Chain A
Amino acid sequence: MSLSLLIKDEFKGFYKSKVMLVLWIGMPLISLLLHYFQPDTEGIPLSILVGLMVSSLSGTLAAVMLSTTIVSEKDRHVYDLFLIRPVKRWNLMFAKLIAVYLCLVIAIFLSVLVGLLLDLIKLDIPPETLLDGIWDSLAISLSAMAISCSISILIGILVNSTMLAAILAIYVGNQLSLLAVLPGIFFENINTVAYATIIGLIFTILVNTATALVLQRRSL
């Protein structure tokens, strides 16, 4: 009960933030702008290009926001009000992860949808072929974001400076999330959807298990 309530609650908080406003409105806008100002995408459909670009940009933004928010809230003892109620520390952090991830998923779907509509108007590629490519792009994007967001939560818990948290989220979280992206790009005979999904799942579970273990010993 408390977890679902916390997820809803955190989701409300994140979607009201300026970062999410940028992601939900700014990212689909990038699709449109790319279409008008950079129409030559060297044969890559706009929907796929936008999916990958949004995952990288919004993943970084969200990861930085997550880690710095946790550091700042820890510093202001925001969690004390929750932890004196039947709420587990892990639930608080997991709710944040799910809420941010949901916000990112919405941002990606909105951007890809705009890209897809433009592709359907502009390109002669049959919709089935276009959708195949989009699944690859979505699998990579969603996996990369799950990894970087999970690492950001761990960073936020372990670090006490917002500056350091932001730097680590960019240089550790975001770089590690490339594990889900690069092989699919460099090796042609890899099933990108399966690879990205499995790597994303394994890393997300590992990092979150580590977070849960840390939270058993560490107060927020």
Chain B
Amino acid sequence: MSTPILTNPSKISTPTENLLELHNITKQFGDFFALNDISLTLKKGEILGYIGPNGAGKTTTMKIIVGLIRQFEGTLYLNNHPLSKTQNEIYQFLGYLPQDVGFQTWRTVNHLLDTLGRLSGYDPHKLPERIDEVLQIVGLHDVKNKKIVHLSGGMQQKLRLAQALLHKPTFLVLDEPMTGLDPSSRFQMKKVIRQLAQQDITIFLSSHILSDVQDIADRIAIINHGKILNIGTPQELQAKFHVGHEIEVILSEMKPDCNIIQKLPQVSKVKQHGKLKFVLTLNPDVDLDTALQEILHLLVSNECIIRNFNLLQPSLEDVYLRYVEEDE
């Protein structure tokens, strides 16, 4: 069995509260760098959202963590031990929801969970009770004896979560858990993930849709082209990208004197949306409060009737898109 290449195993020798540490992980498929020197840490009990467009390297990172990809460069520590030394114990505390994993068509829900539970080393006598429990958690108790092939896509996704929870793991790696779910099931899935986090389960959660993770993750890592662009709390990410203030101005009507809006000295850039809506980017060196007063005064003194005057805060979605666009 091949093992990961440990470039510097002595690098982290003191115990930390980190459950997972990735250091300078690189994974190449031929000439293509799926991951290019990425590093990140995950604290015990934390939910880390891992977002990026399709093909960014999210699944490759997760497959390395769970041991499905074993040939890579860099170091990976789980519970302060190198992955190669803890592979057998990892199976006990790690649950993985893979993206787009298929099922053997002849299996029933119960049969699949029974087999996977036994393979995980769960006590066979307690397994039927545990299967009922996880099916209850994910809302599949009604289809326990149904063939998996007859379940809808959303139900199969819930089953993927059920198998990940089966052996009571303390670390969950969820690759695109909301894929294929309708809005109500997405809400349900987020609720389950939140409940799991309250039980001190550490969660590493990927998605290509920011809204899937922004309200449940403690921190978010943005990845694109195999590189991590930034990691931080949602607030930190917003602050990091907040280089200039923007004001949205909507006029009631466009009078000739209102063209002053294009020539305001406090403004570095004007974007016009339709006839009456403007987004003004302020010069970085101006004082925000003073600039707002001055702009408002200029517009009013030019008899512009203002319907809306609003300071814009970039949403996390904007921040994410800007990071990704900037990287393209």
Contact = CB atoms under 8 A, between A and B. Distances in A.
B65 to A, nearest CB: 10
B116 to A, nearest CB: 6
Interface string B93-119: 010101011111011000100011011
B119 A80 contact: no
**Could you say which of B67, B88, B102, B107 has the most chain A C-beta atoms within 10 Å of its C-beta?**
B102
Given A2-B119, A86-B119, A217-B2, A80 B68 contact: yes
B103 to A, nearest CB: 7
A84 B67 contact: yes
Contacts of A76: 100-102
Interface string B37-67: 0000000000000000000000000000011
A87 B98 contact: no
Given A84-B94, A85-B91, A86-B88, A73 B121 contact: no
B68 A16 contact: no
A5 interface: yes
Interface string A10-22: 0011001100000
A73 B102 contact: yes
Interface string A53-64: 000000000000
A77 B102 contact: yes
B101 A5 contact: no
Given A2-B119, A86-B91, A13 B106 contact: yes
B69 interface: yes
Given A77-B100, A77-B101, A77-B102, A85 B116 contact: yes
Interface range for B:
20 to 34
A80 B101 contact: yes
Contacts of A131: none
Q: Is the interface of A mostly helix, strand, loop or mixed?
A: helix
Nearest to A76: B102
A183 to B, nearest CB: 39
Interface string B179-197: 0000000000000000000
A10 B121 CA distance: 18
Contact of A9 (B1, B115, B163): B115
B124 to A, nearest CB: 10
Interface in B1-34: 1-2
Contact of B103 (A78, A84, A216): A78
Contact of B115 (A5, A73, A80, A216): A5
Contacts of A205: none
Nearest to B120: A85
A88 B120 CA distance: 13
Contact of A84 (B2, B66, B88, B118): B66
A219 interface: yes
Nearest to A2: B119
A82 B107 CA distance: 14
Contacts of B107: 13
B68 A81 contact: no
15 contacts: A13-B104, A13-B106, A13-B107, A77-B101, A77-B102, A78-B102, A78-B103, A80-B98, A81-B103, A81-B163, A83-B68, A84-B94, A84-B98, A86-B121, A87-B119
Given A76-B102, A81-B163, 20 more contacts: A6-B119, A12-B106, A13-B107, A73-B104, A77-B100, A78-B104, A80-B101, A81-B103, A82-B116, A84-B66, A84-B67, A84-B91, A84-B94, A84-B96, A85-B91, A85-B119, A86-B88, A87-B119, A216-B1, A219-B68
